[in-house]
Amino acid sequence: MRACPDPRCHIPDVNCFLGEETPAECSVWCGSKRNDAESSLNSTDGTDTLLPWSGSALGTGDLAFLTARGEAKVIALLGAHNAGKTTLLAAWYQRLGRRGLVGKGRFSGSFSLEGWEAVGHALRWEGGAPRFPPHTSSGAGRAPGMLHLAIRDENSRLNDFLFADSPGEWFERWSVDKNASDAEGARWLIDRASSLIIIADCEALGGKERGRARSDIIQLIRRVANERNERPVALIWSKADVVVPQPIRDAIREAAARVMPDIKEFSSSIIDFDLNGVKINAEEAITEILTWALQPVSRGFAVSETGSRAADPFFNVGSMS
């Protein structure tokens, strides 16, 4: 099926801009078909009702459709190439598929199940050596593919979350120069994120290039600190089953604590691992991070109980004592 000639419309990717249930009921679409000599090869029979999503990762054009029903929280995963960002997303998908519950919330749908499956199927063991999701290509576009989750909290409120599956090359460049032309994707995501998750790759930090890996993650931490604007930030030690020299781990922790004292710290792996001599279950570690990421979206403003005493609550918002 070809595209609708109305520039405001995106048929066949979304529903009719004018609100018609099918293209056959749209005057613009039908008028264009009569003037198209090839319409008979590409036309619809009028019985199909198009959905405003495909199941794949959502693009920027899909976000207006989703946010029309309420505020959506964007979770940004930041880290170098091969740090484990896509694997973390895949592990979360597997976890939700088995349990359906996260903390006090429960899974209540997704407009991107096909996108989730694209990253999650690699972690299903089918015999032989373990597999990992493929690398997210930096050539995929200037805005990340968004994986959607709807979570209903204990009060039955629906909260929408969007997880960005972004290439590490974006953040490597952005951490050096936030205004770089090839860091546009990173800027797009940072500007819109509600929470920021920094991924520290234990495999790289414990490998031959550990000095460079340490410098890169510290540089990324400092850039995030400058751009966070009081948003919640977490530091995740991915591939935590790999040992990282203690001086390197301490240097990264000190750098993070110096610029973001409130940063949360987690560890993750797809297999059980030891943490300070304690055996950690991989699924429990993944669940802890996901629970933090799926914090309910804050709505509205709290009225201060101190400071301004104006009769109109509007003038009390954000007042200082």
What is 200-267 written as a DSSP string?
EEHHHHTSTTHHHHHHHHHHHHHHHHHH-TT--EEEEEESTTS---HHHHHHHHHHHHHH-TT-EEEE
Separation CA 5–CA 2 (nearest Å): 9
What global pTM score does this model have?
0.72
User: Residues 188-229: pLDDT tens digits?
Assistant: 889 989 999 999 999 999 999 999 999 999 999 999 999 999
Q: Mean pLDDT score of the chain, rounded to an integer?
A: 77
Q: Measured in whole angstroms, how far is the alpha carbon of residue 293 from the centre of its chain?
A: 10
Mean pLDDT over 63-68 rounds to 70
Nearest to 290 by CA among 89, 67, 155: 89
What's at 3, amino acid-wise?
A
Separation CA 300–CA 280 (nearest Å): 38
Nearest to 67 by CA among 144, 155, 159: 159
Cβ neighbours of 127 (radius 10 Å): 4
Mean pLDDT over 147-153 rounds to 89
> How far is residue 105 from each of residues 73, 76, 87, 108, 277, measured CA to CA in Å?
15, 21, 23, 9, 32
User: Residues 284-321: pLDDT tens digits?
Assistant: 999 999 999 988 655 444 444 444 455 555 455 444 43
Q: Phi-psi region for residue 229, left (φ > 0), alpha (ψ -120 to 50) or beta?
A: left
Cβ neighbours of 221 (radius 10 Å): 25
Residue 173, SS3? helix
Separation CA 296–CA 77 (nearest Å): 18
Q: What is the largest CA-CA distance in the chain?
A: 74
User: Which comes out higher in pLDDT, residue 225 or 130?
Assistant: 225
Separation CA 15–CA 61 (nearest Å): 12
Separation CA 17–CA 145 (nearest Å): 23
- The string of DSSP letters for 50-106 reads --S--SS-B-HHHHHHHHTTS-EEEEEEE--TTSSHHHHHHHHHHHHHHH-EETTEE
Mean pLDDT over 10-29 rounds to 59
How high is the pLDDT of residue 158? 87
Q: How confident is the model at residue 142 (pLDDT cuts 50, 70, 90)?
A: very low
Separation CA 122–CA 59 (nearest Å): 23
Q: Which of 44-58, 202-216, 256-270 has the lowest mean pLDDT?
A: 44-58
| Contact between 304 and 317 (Cβ < 8 Å) | yes
Nearest to 241 by CA among 210, 216, 269, 218: 269
Q: Is the peptide bond before 134 cis (omega within 30 degrees of 0)?
A: no
User: Residues 151-176: pLDDT tens digits?
Assistant: 988 888 888 999 987 888 888 889 99
Q: Measured in whole angstroms, how far is the alpha carbon of residue 43 from the centre of its chain?
A: 36
Backbone angles phi, psi at 89, to 5 degrees: -60, -45
How high is the pLDDT of residue 55? 58
How high is the pLDDT of residue 236? 97
Task: Tell me the angle at which helices 85-99 and 282-293 cross, rounded to the nearest 10 degrees.
Answer: 100
User: Which comes out higher in pLDDT, residue 266 or 124?
Assistant: 266
